[in-house]
Amino acid sequence: MQFLKGPLAALLCFVLCAPPPALAAQDPPDRPAAGSGRPQYESTQLHGDRRILQALDRFTFGPRPGDVEAVRAMGLDKWFDSQLHPDSIDESPLFTHLAQFPAMQSSVQDVLARYPSNALIRRIINGRAAVPQDPIESAIYENQIYRIEARQRNKANRLQAQNQASPSNAPGNSMNAATADQNASMAQPGPAPSGPMNAAPGDAMQMAADDAPAAGSQPALDEPTFRDLLALSPADRVQRLASIREPQFDEMMKSLRPPQRARLMDGLTPAQKEIVGALENPERMVGEELLSERLMCDIYSNAQLLEVMTDFWLNHFNIYLRKNEQMPYYLVSYERDTIRPHALGKFEDLLEAVAHSPAMLIYLDNTESVGPDSIAAERFKRTAWRRPNAKRQDPPGINENYGRELMELHTVGVNGGYTQADVIQAARVLTGWGVDQPELGGGFIFNPNRHEPGTKKVMGVKIKQNGEQEGEELLHLLATRPATAQFLSRELAIRFVSDNPPQPLVDRMAKTYMATGGDISAVLKTLFHSPEFWASGDYHAKVKTPLEYVVSAVRASGADVQNYLPLVNALRIMGMMPYGCIPPNGYSWEASAWVNSGDLVDRMNFALALASNHLPGIRIDWATETNSNPDAPAPSPETEEARLIPLLLPGGAAESTRTAALDEFQKQSAQDDMRPGADIEPVADARRFNRRPPPNAIEREDQLLAGLLIGSPDFQRR
């Protein structure tokens, strides 16, 4: 935090402590609450560093230490222009971080083949796929096969026990039980699974487990074996771990204490760490990396506007992680290949990419939609006699889900002038748009056999029968509607300007959209050059969403994040887990969704846990400066406050915040009784990380002060 010394600190102090009278008159220290009167744009415009802070607050996930100075040196307009051209930005620091997750750079098929989903494992159990030859990959598969089969057996046994316990069960109930899990292919209690895959070894292992009732209660790995493992080179260690069969492998991993685990992983390359994670649970490993990678980009990317816009579009084109078991794999590509490349480009290209993405076609059920008069439906009707006992006798048909949300949420908006008839017509246009072999991670495919023949008419526009091309016409039609320009401009203005954006601003942005063929960068440029964006009444007035709050706290504190899962967990608690929104409308950008008691409690607890290094694998050194500079004055409450406030709240802290924090800081004795972070529960994997020595008194006091500042009302806004 050396960079805070010298000119920047002096300048911040100048801005914070002694604003020139004119500025002070225009920008009262008490921030306006959201929803207060409409500001007068002409007379109250931001000046000086407040413009820089406004830009950093809105176009990034929050300023890092030194950002204000860097933007000032570069010039605000030039900085914004560079943010619109992310190719020109040095991302080498981010790439270093991204190298932690090699799987996130691979194709969906490759990730799925190497780190199989549970759906793929069940295909193998059912004899519809084979285990790969490679010994390590094979171990990953075998471990997961064992776990799923064990789960199925347990379930079957439980049901059997239940049925025996209550023989008077209504027939309906026992039927429910027998097919309780649609997705799981039930292992019947009787015959062993009939796949080509080692049914016998599975049974043998089960017997072994049954014969060892005390397994798990005693350490499965005795000390010499563990020491032997550690003595091996990383590559040999991974080989050795892969050679341990189930259930011994799981028992051993679960018996490890956090320091042991850390030693086991010590020296492993990222790819080797992925293998160990996959040996434990491949689907979970991929899901965790997916969420971690998103936070990693938000925190560490220098192309912040690109990340902000990627996040914006991921929310606009929301997808839920747990729609099915393939989704975590498809989302790897959805973020990387579908959204990010177009986040600052033409909206129509983005819309096209989303419409061709397996993730969206699966999420909104378009893969299920079949034209009622299509070749596939006709064939179904013709061959119905061959399936006299099949459950489904009616031919497959239209599913309206994607057709509707494409208009309501993705383009023209709910008031965009379409009717229920248009929804059905759009769904007909899109029949046949699907995914090739989704269980293997295949890509987009247009299936002409499922496409509904005939001319369609959407919102008064005729779309002649033309196969896949009809969908292209529909997307073009929707992307170029004035209603779409309005709908998107308004959503952008809400994200970047205010919960109640001024209509003239939205109109101006929409006009740019129409004039530039939906150029997102051009629309953002219009926003940047509009007086409404620089109105002092809206300065620091947007309430942060949980994602913005968590990421901005990590950025401001300069935290070193080795483990992103505590951040994911905090977002889950605050109700905004990435890819965690089930309905397709995504999370709200408005304050009303996020200001309430429960959320506030979660934010304060997160602030304390983060600042005092209670989140495993996340480390902040508040006292860097004090420790490394022998000439620095002896720390006192005043010096520490003067040092930490500009760091965490570069726009300054309200007097009430300063006073409360300082009072508490002064009261803090060496023997403090605070228990920060007790309520952010460390995730199970936190055990991978070593505990550090307890902080000394100054560190503890810095942590407390920082926690109070991050949890303050001032930090809740941007």
Partner 1 sequence: MPLTRRFFLHKGALAIAGTAAIPSFLVRSVLAESAARPGQRLVVIFQRGAADGLNVVVPYREKNYYAMRPTIAIPQSQVLDLDGFFGLHPSLASFKPLYDQGHLAIVHACGSPSMSRSHFDAQDYMESGTPDVKSTQTGWLNRALQAEDICCREHYTAFRAVALGPEVPLTLAGKVPALALDNVNGFTVAGRGPTPSPVADAFQAMYADSGDRIFHTAGDETFDAVKMLRAADPAQYQPANGAAYPNSEFGNSMKQIAQLLKANLGVEAAFTDVTGWDTHHAQGGVDGQLANRLRDFSDSIGAFWRDLGDQAGNVTLVTMSEFGRTAHENGTGGTDHGHANAMFVLGGGVKGGKVYGRWPGLDNDQLNQGRDLALTTDYRQVLGEVVTRTLGAENLNIVFPGATLDPSRFLRLV
Q: Does 674 bind partner 1 (CB under 8 A)?
A: yes
d(CA 561, CA 566): 10
Verify binding: residue 391, partner 1, rule CB under 8 A.
yes
Q: Is 400 in the site for partner 1 (CB under 8 A)?
A: yes
Residue closer to partner 1, measured from CB, 395 or 518: 395
The count of other CB atoms within 10 Å of the CB of residue 464 is 10
3-state secondary structure of 115: coil
User: 607 burial class (0-12, 13-18, 19+ CB within 10 angstroms)?
Assistant: buried
Sketch the per residue contact string, 417 through 446, with partner 1: x for CB under 8 A, - otherwise. Answer: ---x--x-----------------------
List 33, 74, 204, 515, residue binding partner 1 (CB under 8 A): 33
Q: Are 151 and 181 in contact (CB under 8 A)?
A: no
Q: Please identify, using beta-carbon distances, which residue of 78 and 675 lies nearer to partner 1.
A: 675
Q: Residue 19 interacts with partner 1 (CB under 8 A)?
A: no
Please identify which residue in 117, 144, 302, 399 interacts with partner 1, judged by CB under 8 A.
399
* 3-state SS class at 104: helix
Asked if residue 712 binds partner 1 (CB under 8 A), the reply is: yes
Tokens found for residue 33: 């609450």
CA-to-CA dists, residue 15 to 4, 20, 117, 651, angstroms:
14, 8, 54, 8
As measured in angstroms, the least distance from the Cβ of 332 to partner 1 is 24
* Crossing angle (nearest 10°) for helices 282-300 and 135-165: 110
Instruction: At 434, give phi and psi (nearest 5°).
Output: -150, -160
CB of 691 to partner 1, least distance (A): 19
Whichever of 341 and 397 has its CB closer to partner 1, that residue is 397
359-388: contacts with partner 1 (CB under 8 A): 365, 368-370, 372, 377
**Is 261 one of the binding residues for partner 1 (CB under 8 A)?**
no
660 binds partner 1 (CB under 8 A): yes
Among 203, 337, 378, 664, binds partner 1 (CB under 8 A): 664
User: Residue 37, interface with partner 1 (CB under 8 A)?
Assistant: no
Q: Which stretch binds partner 1 (CB under 8 A): 45-53, 70-78, 632-640, 658-666?
A: 658-666
User: Which residue in 596, 597, 620 sits closest to 607, CA to CA?
Assistant: 620
By beta-carbon proximity to partner 1, the closer residue of 209 and 376 is 376
Min separation Cβ 271 and partner 1, Å: 36
What minimum distance in Å lies between the beta carbon of 151 and partner 1?
Answer: 16
437 phi-psi bin (left φ>0, alpha ψ -120 to 50, beta other): left
Token readout for 477 is 């039609």
Q: List the one residue out of 211, 293, 276 whose CA is nearest residue 247.
A: 211
Distance CA 151, CA 555 (A): 42
Q: Which residues contact 25 (CB under 8 A, 6 or more apart)?
A: none
Buried b (16+ CB within 10 A) or exposed e, 163-193: eeeeeeeeeeeeeebeeeeeebbebeeeeeb
Task: Tell me if 193 contacts partner 1 by CB under 8 A.
Answer: no
DSSP secondary structure letter of residue 366: G
Using alpha carbons, select from 560, 576, 569 the residue that is nearest to residue 605: 569
Position among 562, 659, 690, 696 found at the interface with partner 1 (CB under 8 A): 659
Q: Which stretch binds partner 1 (CB under 8 A): 186-194, 268-276, 498-506, 653-661?
A: 653-661
Q: Which of 18, 105, 672, 696 binds partner 1 (CB under 8 A)?
A: 672
The nearest distance, CB 550 to partner 1, in angstroms, is 14
Of 7, 20, 35, 467, which one interacts with partner 1 (CB under 8 A)?
35
Q: At what angle do helices 482-496 and 520-528 cross, to 10 degrees?
A: 50
Instruction: State yes or no: residue 168 binds partner 1 (CB under 8 A).
Output: no
Residue with Cβ nearer partner 1 (660 or 686) = 660
**CA pair distance 15, 649, nearest whole angstrom:** 12
State yes or no: residue 573 binds partner 1 (CB under 8 A): yes
Q: Which is nearer to partner 1, 554 or 576 (CB)?
A: 576
Tokens of 325: 């078991």
Using CB under 8 A as the binding criterion, the count of chain residues that bind partner 1 stands at 85
Candidates 222, 673, 692, 694; binder of partner 1 (CB under 8 A) is: 673
Q: Residues 543, 618, 620, 645: which binds partner 1 (CB under 8 A)?
A: 543
Answer for the pair 298, 548: CB distance below 8 angstroms, yes or no. Answer: no
Near partner 1 by CB under 8 A: residue from 66, 219, 397, 558: 397
Q: Smallest Cα–Cα separation from 547: which of 539, 538, 555?
A: 555
Nearer to partner 1, 101 or 330 (CB): 330
Nearer to partner 1, 7 or 35 (CB): 35
Nearer Cβ to partner 1 (105/393): 393
Minimum CB distance to partner 1 smaller for 242 or for 321: 321
With binding defined as CB under 8 A, does residue 395 bind partner 1?
yes
Give the 3-state secondary structure of residue 298: helix
**Shortest separation between residue 529's beta carbon and partner 1, angstroms:** 29
Question: CA 452, CA 374: separation in Å to the nearest integer?
Answer: 5
Q: Which residues pair with 386 in a beta bridge?
A: none
Q: Are 557 and 620 in contact (CB under 8 A)?
A: yes
Q: Does 1 bind partner 1 (CB under 8 A)?
A: no
Question: Nearer to partner 1 by C-beta: 353 or 370?
Answer: 370
Under rule CB under 8 A, residue 337 binds partner 1: no
Is residue 535 near partner 1 by the rule CB under 8 A?
no
Q: Which residues inside 574-633 make contact with partner 1, applying CB under 8 A?
A: 574-576, 582-583, 585, 591-602, 604-605, 608
3-state secondary structure 564-628: CHHHHHHHHHCCCCCCCCCCCCCCCCCHHHCCCHHHHHHHHHHHHHHHCCCCCCEECCCCHHHHH
Q: Which stretch binds partner 1 (CB under 8 A): 228-236, 475-483, 555-563, 671-679?
A: 671-679
Amino acid at 215: A
Q: Which is nearer to partner 1, 118 or 612 (CB)?
A: 612
Provide, rounded to whole angstroms, the least separation between the CB of residue 688 and partner 1: 24
If one asks whether residue 31 binds partner 1 (CB under 8 A), the answer comes out as yes
Distances (CA, A) of 571 to 80, 104, 336, 567, 574: 29, 21, 21, 6, 5
Examine residue 678 and tell whether it contacts partner 1 (CB under 8 A).
yes
Cβ proximity to partner 1: between 365 and 473 the closer is 365
